[in-house]
Structure 1
């Protein structure tokens, strides 16, 4: 992997060091050749150790940079996914709102049509009922008129019958009254005539006049 490569990149490399010049300087300084070799080997070991630490340090920094890059990439991808998901969700909501608005318009149109149809049906029913009520009223009025005419005719017939009967009774009783009056008049006339005849007859006959005293009237009263 890249991390292993960064930590082992300096393992197979010898550090750049002019060992012969150093060896010459050490020998000239009074070190024996074996001591000079030991010192050079020690320097090489120390240099390799420093370089390995340096590679580890740079490897850690590279790992941090890599982790940072991966984090930023993941963050960017997550942001893109969130944005895409949000846009998709918004689009879905917009589509759902459009569908709901369309369904609402359809339902509203259907309800309006049903309301208009119901209103028309109600108006037609009301007009039919009015017409039927008008016809029924006319029938009732005609029936009432027929009944009134029948009642009037029957009343007139009954009244005519009663009037004729009353007229007949009145005529009969009138004739009877006339006859009674005639007979009464005749009877009165004959009675008056008979009375007059008696008075004339009494005047022609002599009747002695008797005069009573007042005392005699009193006795007669008792």
Structure 2
């Protein structure tokens, strides 16, 4: 079942963001990048020629390149196609059968992973549920997670909340995430800033990582 078309909307500006309750600082030796569900099945719902999708993809690409240059692990989540009903469970009651094997599963071409990037098969909204993401972060000595991708008020926000509950500092990127609507996007950023993480725009992330790598 295809995702209904998502209307274009301008990504939140820094001036619109809720003040962060905590002010954690990104550290190139502690963080990993999460590219959350940037599969064609989900991105096909957007008009890729305009915001939010156009800027979403470019901002993730920019952050990913800085991470690769600094040896920061890049982790992709991706849902599998043709999920067996026993795996899909009650998710089907909300979203139907989901992805079909093949093109639906592919990461959008502009963000295609390389041979070094890490893949996590994802089954529920949170990237930590029924996966080994927490163990992977621990294995790489990482206790900070930069969160990008879709959808902000679902998988991205809940992954941030679960990272927090695992003592992993989540950084949700305001203009490298996107959602069904601007209101839902802003709501997700507001929740993270107040309750479980730090919200930053892409330029602040890039500046922080460059400054840390030069220190």
TM-score, structure 1 normalization = 0.14
**Higher relative contact order (CA closer than 8 Å, sequence separation 6+):** 2
Which structure has more helix as a fraction of its residues? 1
Structure number with greater Rg is 1
- The alignment's TM-score, normalised by the length of structure 2, stands at 0.14
Structure that is richer in strand per residue: 2
